Amino acid sequence: MRGKYREIQEKIYEYFHARPELQTPLEILKDEHRELCWRQMYGLIKEAGIRPLKYVVEDPGKYFAIVEAAGAVDISLGIKLGVQYSLWGGSVINLGTKKHKDKYFEGIDSLDYPGCFAMTELHHGSNVQGLQTVATFDPITDEFIINTPSDGAIKWWIGNAAVHGKFASVFAKLMLPAQDAKGVSDMGVHAFIVPLRDLKTHQELPGIEIHDCGHKVGLNGVDNGALRFTSVRIPRDNLLNRFGDVSRDGKYTSSLPTINKRFAATLGELVGGRVSLASSSTSILKVANAIAIRYSLLRQQFGPPNQPEVSILDYQSQQHKLMPMLASTYAFHFATSYLVEIYSQMKTTHAEQLVGDVHGLSAGLKAYVTFLYSEIFECL
| Domain contains 264 | no
Report how far residue 296's alpha carbon sits from residue 230's, in angstroms, rounded to the nearest whole number: 55
DSSP letter at 284? H
Q: What average pLDDT does the segment 203-215 reach?
A: 98
Residue 155 falls inside a structural domain: yes
Residue 261: inside a domain, yes or no?
Answer: no
Which CATH number is 45's domain given? Answer: 1.10.540
Q: What pLDDT was estimated at residue 179? A: 63
Q: Is the pLDDT of residue 378 over 80?
A: no
Report which of 37, 81, 15 is spatially closest to residue 279, judged by C-alpha positions.
81
244, part of any domain: yes
Evaluate if residue 157 carries a pLDDT over 70: yes
| Backbone angle region of 271, left / alpha / beta, with phi > 0 → left and psi within -120 to 50 → alpha | alpha
Give the pLDDT score at 366.
86
User: Are both 82 and 174 inside the same structural domain?
Assistant: no
Residue range 1-19, pLDDT digits in tens: 457 899 999 999 999 999 9
Which pLDDT belongs to residue 2?
58
Q: How confident is the model at residue 377 (pLDDT cuts 50, 70, 90)?
A: low
Position with higher pLDDT, 266 vs 153: 153
Task: Reply yes or no on whether the pLDDT at 214 is more than 90.
Answer: yes
Cα 283 from Cα 69, distance rounded (Å)? 8
Same domain, 314 and 345: yes
Question: Domain ends where: 233, 256, 279?
Answer: 256
Which residues, 6+ apart, have CB-to-CB distance to 343 below 8 Å? 60, 271, 272, 275, 358, 362
The SS3 of residue 211 is: strand
> What's the confidence (pLDDT) of residue 45?
97
Q: What is the CATH number of the domain that holds 140?
A: 2.40.110.10
146 and 44 part of one domain: no
User: Beta-strand (E) ranges in the chain?
Assistant: 115-118, 134-138, 143-147, 155-158, 167-177, 184-195, 208-212, 225-229, 232-235, 245-246, 252-253
Structural domain span for residue 91: 3-109
More confident residue, 377 or 202: 202
Q: Give the model's pLDDT for residue 293.
A: 94
User: How far is it, in rounded angstroms, from Cα 194 to Cα 118?
Assistant: 10
The Cα-based distances of 83 to 11, 78, 161, 376 in angstroms read 22, 9, 10, 26
The answer for 174, left when phi > 0, alpha when psi is -120 to 50, beta otherwise, is beta
Q: Are residues 166 and 233 part of one domain?
A: yes
Residues 132 and 238 placed together within one structural domain of the fold: yes
| CATH number of 338's domain | 1.20.140.10
pLDDT band with cut points at 50, 70 and 90 for residue 236: very high
At 1 the pLDDT is 46
Given a cut of 90, whether residue 260 has pLDDT beyond it is: no
What is the per-residue pLDDT for 326? 93
SS3 of 191, please? strand
Measured CA angle at 54 (ends 348, 24), to 5 deg: 125
How many domains does one find in the chain?
A: 3
Task: Give the residue with greater pLDDT, 14 vs 353.
Answer: 14
CB 264 within 8 A of CB 348: no
- Residues 223, 308 within the same domain: no
